[in-house]
Each structure stands twice: as structure tokens, then as C-alpha cells.
Amino acid sequence: MAERFAVASLNGGTKDEFLRVVGPVFEHSPWIAEKTWPLRPFGNLEDLHARLCATVKAATIEEQLGLIRAHPDLVGRAALAGTLTQASTTEQAGSGLNRLSPQEIATFQQYNAEYRDKFGFPFVICARLNKKDAILEAFPRRLKNTAAEETRAALEEIYKIAYFRLQDIFTQR
């Protein structure tokens, strides 16, 4: 069972505690929690999430692209090798991406390659809100986007992912 906290308990806690708890919410991007820490106190989970997302929105395009690039490919090398973060492993498994046929794996890998070639970052979608078939249908649709449209789409998906991860960590009080 994961450690659970109340948002209010972090408002008066140390910066190190805040970074330990909130830092992993955005995939391999603790800088978001670091930049959001001074905005305490947070009224509740929604307020914390909104401020974390505002930090991302205020970031440079290079920082935003770094955040997107910190995400793993769906059914990519890390997933197949078992080296994803625990959160990513759970999210991909929840959408059925750990139970694919060899053909489905090949399809994901083909889409991942096309997507990376076009945009320079991995395809990001909130796996908790999408099952395997919906994800496979989203690839060709999103491949039609411009780079700017897809950057915005990826960030919107990341905000959804972060919200679910915060829900996993925090209790409402």
C-alpha cells in the first residue's frame, strides 16, 4: 500500500518532504515540484494540481519538451524490459498494455517510431482513461497534428496523468 498524505500536512512540512512526495508526480521531472513549493499553502488536491500545472504552463518550451520526453514510449523498450517507474507500469497495465499479442506490440512500436520521427518526443496519453484499442485509435489521429498542437495535446494528457497520481498519494481533508 502506498504512503498516503493529506495536502495540509505538506503545507507546514519541509521542502525535502514536499519534493519526496510530489516530485515523482510528473515523470522524471522533480523541477516542477521544486518550482511549485514556494506557492504553499495549497487548499486541497485540486489547488495543488492546478498550481503544479501552472508551473508547467509557465515553463519554457524547452522545459515543457523535456517533461514530455521524460515519458516512456507505450509498450516501448522500458516497458518490455520491466524498467518503467512503478506508476507507469501500473498505468500501462491498467489499460491492458501488458497483455498484448506480438502483432499488437509490433503495431505499438511502429506507431511509436512514426510519432517520435514526426514530433521528437514520445506519444503521451493518459492510460488510466484509455484502454488499448482507444490508444491505438488515437495514434493515427494525433499523428495528423502539427508539432504545436501535439505539444499541447501531450501536456494536457500529462496534466491528467499527474492528477491521478496525486489522487493516489493524497487524501482529501
Phi, psi of 72 (to 5 degrees): -80, 155
In sequence order, the β-bridge partners of residue 5 are 170
Sorted by where each begins, the domain ranges of the chain are 72-154
Better pLDDT: 171 or 105: 105
Topology at the third CATH level for domain 72-154:
UraD-like (1.10.3330)
Q: What is the CA radius of gyration of the chain?
A: 16
Q: Which of 22, 37, 49, 71 is catalytic?
A: 71
pLDDT beyond 60 at 136 = yes
Which DSSP state fits 34? H
Active site residue 49: no
pLDDT beyond 60 at 96 = yes
78-101: average pLDDT: 85
